[in-house]
Chain A
Amino acid sequence: MSTDATADRISEVSQKFGISPEDYMLPARHMINLLDPDGTLRPQDQQGTEPGHEYPLPSPARLMEAYSALVTGRRVNDQNSALVRQGRMAVYPSSHGQEACQVAAALCLEDGDWLFPTYRDTVAVLTKGVAPMEVMTSFRGEWHCGYDPKAYNCAPMATPLTTQLLHAVGVAHAAKLRGENTVVVAMCGDGATSEGDFHEALNFAAVFNLPVIFFVQNNKYAISVPFSQQSAAPSLAHKAVGYGMAGERVDGNDLMALMSVMTRAVRLAREGNGPLLIEAHTYRMQAHTNADDDKRYREDAEVIEWKAKDPVTRMQAYLDDAGLLTEEAAAKITEAAEAVAKDLRDGMNQDANTDPRELFEHVFSTKTPQLAEQQALLVDELDREEA
């Protein structure tokens, strides 16, 4: 449990790849990108890979599984945005355009591994297996997170930026002390990397040599503030070497590259090589949330430019060309996505099941006398209202 141990592991693993520890920790010279925006597989020498940074193509079955989750993710984003417009949901931070990142973050994990998402990561949480209506509970305006984190190994979606990265470190640390080989993916945005807890989490994870993958979706904005005002580093992935961990950049709209990079990161972490920092380059296609007006800080032209790099059409084109996306397979995938969307519509049509009396129940394991008194007061008010 010391930096020496981490340094030893890094030097060992870099030797295995035949490169220096620095070259292992620094991201490859170019970002990892396997598919062109039109879905063609890039020539091997243009994929950004290099010795020690090799990324084999995922299997067709794996790609189909990921593509299905991607289509569902897009459908969920658009369904939720519609529900907000119809006034049936309080707020929704859409990840339209970032679905490939979210799918890869969840699918790279195995049973027993943990995911630590943010408010932006609905699609990752869904892909981890949480029921659609449970995921949306807090966005509906309810007071709790809606799902049992332990049942899904998925933390509540975190709002205070990067605070959850430290919890991820703690979950990994506890598992390690018990001799369990649990890998944790901890997510945050580009703006959030400026927070102090980002630094503390990466440093702790490296010092204690913990299997945590810090996965940053660089969608170019933190609400209105462009990335250029968050960091002067050559890239966010370059920050890794400063902590003594490996970093990598990946095209965040290229599901195939993401699956390959994340799967390898999970393997390296599980094998005891410590944490990794992965920066995915993507774009937030819609406003920060429905309450935001992105016309105030960015040009339409920029959004249109990114539309051409869409992760869903890119993957679809590749699978079509490869003959994997048969009509039957495509229909099944659409059907699955529609079923989730229907679930959400039906669920949101029902009133939220909120009983104000419950607000006192989970503040402590046992109610303090003061809380019991306050609850009685509210119950009395409610009873009189009903009478």
Chain B
Amino acid sequence: MTTTSQVNPNVSDATARAAAQAAAKNQPVTFGKALNTALADALTAEKSVVIFGEDVGTLGGVFRITDGLTARFGNERCFDTPLAESGIVGMAVGMAMNGMRPVIEMQFDAFAYPAFEQINSHVAKMRNRTQGRLPLPMVIRIPYAGGVGGVEHHCDSSEAYYSHTPGLKVFTPSTVADAYLMLREAIDSEDPVIFFEPKKLYWSKEQVDLEALAAEYEARKAAKTEGVARIARAGKDATLITYGPSVSVAMEAAKLAAEEGISLEVVDIRTIVPFDDETVSASVRKTGRAIVVAEAQGFASVASEIVARVQERCFHSLAAPVLRVTGFDIPFPAPTLEKYNLPSAERILDTLDQLQWEA
């Protein structure tokens, strides 16, 4: 799943170099390990970084993303809190007000809802309310989305709520290299970042040299990649615009389409906020057709926003309406039924057929 980028030199350099070095060293790394390493490297690089949440200490988190951090950095740098999400976020706000860089974990997407008031009314607005005097550099990590056979309340794609809130940045990596790089960038950001981790990717592996990636990151620290989308696959007939857990699905669809002689470009948004209109528009202007693929329910969603932006900017280049493949507007289904709800390569290809191709 290594990729090339034609857009951002930072992204393309990093991923290309990582790919090359990994090939040389041939060490598969999981998405989860990349996140874990990013946290450890951030704790080492900056002493104001503190990590806390539910079960993140001794246990290392229910997904083991904070595994070993308490043992290595001590209970003051990575610790368990009482079971209260609003409390976790609210305390992080105060710590960020007072010189710290909290990186906190919400155990699952739906369990971040108790913290919604803190996130909306304070995390997002403190900088503005104080005319920039109280920035809140903090990261809220949220494992999200389905595809793992999770039960009720464990599979929500809740990115729209946060993307709709001015003052929050919203990141969601889809590759192992981005898991590392984007988490480091989020932690170094002066703005609060909601960091969405597609939980189905935690165990996915790629050939990535994490040490090289770390060196790469330190070297280019100031040059941000936020707001820069990634061309995950170059193509010319239509564009699939997607992010997070749906990137791999879109890649699969592109592969199948190629077998039928259709060349699909796949754009990985990476950061929903800030949004990279330029890369997305350039791709759609080139191909003239677009489908937005996202796992979240489609009504009033991030996918809807992307469709609107594309038609505002690319209307005269479009040969067909911009369509969407999203989750249905239903509560996320039970494990036995989730496959009917999740966007699939087949559903993407069916939708592709509707893009008014000339006979």
Contacts and interface: CB of A to CB of B under 8 A. Distances in A.
Contacts of B118: 163, 166, 197
A150 B275 CA distance: 32
A173 B91 contact: yes
A155 interface: yes
B94 A169 contact: yes
Q: How large is the interface on B (under 10, 10 to 19, 20 to 34, 35 or more residues)?
A: 35 or more
Interface in A162-203: 163, 165-175, 177-178, 196-197, 200-201, 203
Interface in B69-117: 75-76, 79, 81-82, 84, 86-87, 89-100, 102, 114, 117
A200 B87 contact: yes
B98 A174 contact: yes
Contacts of B132: 361-362, 365
Interface string A20-59: 0000000000000000000000000000000000000000
Nearest to B87: A200
B130 interface: yes
A21 to B, nearest CB: 20
Interface stretch (A61-69, A121-129, A141-149): A141-149
A169 B126 CA distance: 16
The 3 nearest A-B residue pairs measured at CB: A170-B94, A166-B90, A200-B87
A175 B100 CA distance: 9
A155 B97 contact: yes
B84 A365 contact: no
A363 interface: yes
A173 B94 contact: yes
Interface of A is mostly: helix
B129 A369 contact: no
B227 interface: yes
Contacts of A172: 94
Given A1-B76, A150-B133, A370 B95 contact: no
Contacts of B149: none
Contacts, number: 139
B122 A167 contact: yes
B348 to A, nearest CB: 27
Contacts of B167: 363-364
Contacts of B82: 200, 203-204, 207
Nearest to B50: A177
A305 B95 CA distance: 44
Given A163-B121, A166-B91, A196-B86, A178 B127 contact: no
B199 interface: no
A275 interface: no
Contact of A167 (B75, B76, B94, B130): B94
A169 B91 contact: yes
A156 B136 CA distance: 14
Interface string A361-380: 11111001110000000000
Contacts of A368: 227, 273-275
Given A1-B75, A364-B127, A368-B273, A170 B166 contact: no
A194 to B, nearest CB: 14
Interface string A279-292: 00000000000000
Given A171-B98, A204-B82, A364-B169, 9 more contacts: A156-B130, A163-B90, A163-B117, A163-B118, A169-B90, A204-B84, A204-B91, A364-B167, A369-B277
B134 A150 contact: yes
A181 to B, nearest CB: 13
B274 A200 contact: no
Contacts of B128: 143-144, 362-363
Nearest to B189: A365
